[in-house]
Amino acid sequence: MGKSLVIVESPAKAKTISKILGKDFQVKASIGHIRDLPRTKLGVNVRKNFEPQYEILREKEPIVQELREAAEEADHVYLAPDPDREGEAIAWHLAELLGLPKNKLHRIEFNEITKEAVLAAIKSPRQIDKRLVDAQQARRVLDRLVGYKISPLLWRKVNGRSAGRVQSVAVRLICERESEIEGFDAQEYWSIKADLSKAKSKQSFTAALVKYDGKRVIPATEKPSSSSFIIDSEKIANQIVKAVESKDFKVLAVNDKTSQKQPQPPFITSTLQREAALQLGFAVKKTMQVAQGLYEGVELGPQGPVGLITYMRTDSTRISSQAQEEALSHISTRYGKQYCPDKPRVYTRKAKNVQDAHEAIRPTSVERTPESIKQYLNNDQNKLYKLIWERFLASQMAAAELVTKTVEMTAGIGLFRASATDTKFPGFTIVYNRPANGDSPSEADDEATNNLPELSEGEEVKLRALNPKQHFTQPPPRYNEASLVKTLEELGIGRPSTYATTVATIIDRKYVEKQGKMLCPTKLGQAVNALLVEHFGDIVDVRFTAEMEAKLDKIEEDEIEWHGMLKEFYQPFGETLKKARDSMDKIVILSEHKCPTCGEAMAVRSSRFGQFLGCVNYPACTTKIALTKDGNPVPPDRPSDESCKTCTAPMIIRYGRYGDYLVCSSETCQEQRPIVKSTGVACPREDCGGEIIVKKSRRGKIFYGCSHYTQKKCTTAFWYPPLIKGGPNGSTKCPQCESLLIYKTLKRGDQIACSSKECIFAQVCTGGEEHA
């Protein structure tokens, strides 16, 4: 067998696969797409049956040349991009550009980057699936037509930066949710709970009023009927309390009910993104970046690079029989046979647009437990791998068995109910015990954990207190990244590969901003959405967008032809576009700021460099004010306490692209430097002479590094501030290895820890510590 060439998308993936295949295979990376529609024009010949006019990306020209030379020398070329539409399209573009004949071209795909999977793929190559390619081309052309035709209109009419087929629907969902919140009319309602105890006991329990005078007591979130009512005022609540408190509380019934709590399915893309957001605080984009690294391979010491999880862009909960057998064996050995289900679990999804091409997201081997490989992973990788590993293992385990005791008590014409749930058998919850679907525990869950004493029918219980409590119905919550992804998936909008990009785009375009973790529409986003809803109702219609996704799936299934689908879309779209050009009015988005020159209002405007404030009197007044990343006016230059090292003139503080920095006040001097915030702690590295200062990463995250860090003389750096007072025995040095101690602020409580990665020292803070 002659030399073979394997082409993948990323260098990390290439490194892992190269180690598996050995010296007979040369593995190279295309580093993503090498060919795409042009960036500066439409790039679609509408009149010529929507023919895409692809061109090689300028920055990829050297890579294409390198791949051509390697392909000419190889006897066989294996195209191994990711196993989805996007990967199939990359493989097709590569085959076209490299001029690969069919006898030399081999398309291979694998769901996991392991030795078994890669070698099996090499043994069973196939030709490129043109159906997948056509589906991807249809999506790309469709998105380009919408974006390039609507965006210029938005630019002229509202200073909007762009429109997108899926992103515009996402913005609409967020704007409509904001309108619901603003128009929400809160309704008052009351609940009544009794603090009770056995006659001669000090231990109390709580019971809620569930019926009064034969009618169910319901919250204002439910609709009352002839058999139910809402306690909608304090007056009615007090009347009920007065009527009940003088009555004897007697046990009417005691019931025990056995139930099972089933494990959740293994992760798909959307559920992983939601759970990582809720449990780990990860943004959707971050989750996918970390998962990509785990999939492509992580260095595991002597083992070299190993792919740790299966492909992370999937909407299938299917699991291979081999992975299932390995999981059941691990469960039986580690926890006991009683933790294995009676028969292997099979998960199916009922959603219409589910594609079952890939497995669910799971570890490539459950034997690689989070504890066994923790030393090789960074903090984010370890957290996400642990989440994936636990969820998968739990999905293959036996159900938890629960016993719920419910006690009903009468007091006159009032009926009170208390319940408590005990775990008879923990089942999967010993591995993974989180609320289903990422939901928060409900009030009913809280009541179900009540500490109930042993009670019997007819027994009298003692009333300690009756507590009426006022409530108000709450508006629907704003979307966060996780809940937006969940909604898009439920509505059939987008694909697993597009969720992260959609969320990132609407934030980058300033249509949506994050307030804490919540997504709120900006004035620009609301203005753009209003125009699109008015003039392009179909394009931003949820049902229409979901139908387009379904048609893309039908192209992949070879049920419809992609050119025909585009033609069917474009004809009415072109007519709508023409009407919008003629009827769309220009919208000015006013800010709360006044023009410093003429006193008129300042409007939010956009340019290719970002947003700024411009006077509404333009062109009579040309005043402009730049905006910071947060959307606030850029502050004026401010004096500092430092002097120029070149000419000794005073330095001033100026706001720039990356925040505040120092610049010389002299017009003839060009010295500028970053603002250094010292911690007062010397660099722990011997013979360094630097000090630990506050720094910012390229992504804007604060870290603490040596003042010589930028000069590459010293690489000392920590994510947490150094301790300056109150360590063990009054020292700021680790008692085990003498390294510098750092102060960690964690959800489970603050702690002091050693800064050395080789040392495991950590202790809970006592309150007397101080950090930089």
3-class state of residue 479 by DSSP: coil
pLDDT band at residue 436 using 50, 70 and 90 as cut-offs: low
Whether the predicted pLDDT of 546 surpasses 70: yes
Q: Which of 433, 511, 509 is nearest to 479 (CA)?
A: 511
Q: How far apart are CA 495 and CA 501, in angstroms?
A: 10
State the average pLDDT over residues 488-497: 86
545: which 2 tokens? 């967008």
Distance, in Å, from the CA atom of 412 to the CA atom of 401, rounded to the nearest integer, reads 36
- Catalytic residue numbers, as ranges: 311
591 has a pLDDT exceeding 90: no
More confident residue, 717 or 327: 327
Which tokens sit at 664?
Answer: 């010389």
Which residue's entry shows tokens 């085990």?
Answer: 736
Q: Which pLDDT value is given to residue 712?
A: 60
144 alpha carbon, distance to own chain's centre:
26
Distance of CA 615 to the CA centre of its chain: 38
pLDDT > 70 in the chain, percent: 95
Tens digit of each residue's pLDDT (9 = 90 or more) over 205-255: 999 999 999 999 999 999 999 999 999 999 999 999 999 999 999 999 999
Contact 161, 510 (CB under 8 A): yes
DSSP state of 50: T
Helix/strand/coil percent split, the chain, to 5: 35, 25, 40
Q: Which residue has the tokens 């190269």?
A: 18
The predicted-structure confidence for 366-379, as pLDDT tens digits, reads as follows 999 999 999 999 99
The confidence band for 350, taking pLDDT boundaries of 50, 70 and 90, is low
State residue 441's pLDDT score.
Answer: 39
pLDDT recorded at residue 697: 77
Alpha helices (H) along 220-356: 234-245, 269-275, 284-296, 321-335
Whether 450 contacts 419, CB under 8 Å: yes
* DSSP conformation class of 317: -
Coil, helix or strand for 496?
Answer: coil
The Cα-based distances of 510 to 521, 523, 602 in angstroms read: 9, 9, 18
Q: Which residue has the tokens 């220009």?
A: 586
Dig out the tokens for 341 from the structure.
């289900």
Looking at every residue in the chain, the average pLDDT score rounds to: 89
Band (161; pLDDT cuts 50, 70, 90): low
Dump pLDDT digits (tens) for 423-434. Answer: 999 999 999 987
* DSSP strand pairing (188-198 vs 460-472): antiparallel
Confidence of residue 611 (pLDDT cuts 50, 70, 90): confident
pLDDT of 379-407, one tens digit each? 999 999 999 999 999 999 999 999 999 99
- The answer to whether residues 629 and 609 touch, using CB atoms and an 8 Å cutoff, is no
* The model's pTM: 0.79
Environment class of residue 172 by beta-carbon count within 10 Å: exposed (0-12), middle (13-18) or buried (19+)? buried
